[in-house]
Structure formats: structure tokens, C-alpha cells
Amino acid sequence: MISLPAIAQAESSFQTPTGNIHCYIADQNIRCDIIKITAKIPPKPSNCELDWGHAFILDARGRGYRGCYGDTTVNPQNPVLQYGKTLRYEGFTCTSRRTGLTCVNRDQRGWELSRERQRFF
């Protein structure tokens, strides 16, 4: 794996080369937002009064989950994590591939995110 300290030190955010996935790492978690999703989005939870379906959160430990949100991590100025590159920051490891973005935490739990598929493991 390749470490990209220039990105990690300059910012705690990044985007994939297509600009469809933007992520922000802070406060012991990583949040990634997908702009366009073609997969079916699960029903909105009754306790979510904000937006639903496009935000994904992974804490330092445990499984990732979809988040209820009222803001966004999308910023066209976010540095690009090029295909085939890996970013390690604050205990998280994210790898960008043409097939999507894979991120894991200290427990090796995480997700694979793409326009077509969002899978937690």
C-alpha cells in the first residue's frame, strides 16, 4: 500500500477521480458522500428528519452505516485520491479503484462504495 502523507497532512478530505464520492475524516470517523447512486436506497428510517441514503459513516471501531444528514462532504476543491492509490489517516485506510472506493477502520471493518453498489463488511 502507498501512503499519501501530502494529502493527509494538508487535508482530512478527498474525492475519487470521477468526483462522485467525497470523504471527510475527523473526530474518529470517516464520512463519505456519494453524489449519484444507481442502486436501490433502503427506506428512510422514521427517526431521520433530514436527508437520507447518500452519506456513509465509519467509526474508528465497528461496522459502517448509512447516515442521516443535513450537510455534505462534497467540495470540488477536495484533493483527488487517484485510482490505485491508498490513503492512510487517523487509523483509516481508503483505496481508490476504478470499481469504487474501499475504506477500513482499525477493526478491518468498512465498506466498498460505488455508484452501483454500497456494501458494508
Using one digit for the tens of pLDDT, what is the confidence trace for 52-87?
999 999 999 999 999 999 999 999 999 999 999 999
Whole-number Å distance between alpha carbons of 1 and 94: 10
Using one digit for the tens of pLDDT, what is the confidence trace for 84-121?
999 999 899 999 999 999 999 999 999 999 999 999 99
Whole-number Å distance between alpha carbons of 11 and 35: 20
- 0.75 exceeded by pTM: yes
Phi-psi region for residue 103, left (φ > 0), alpha (ψ -120 to 50) or beta? beta
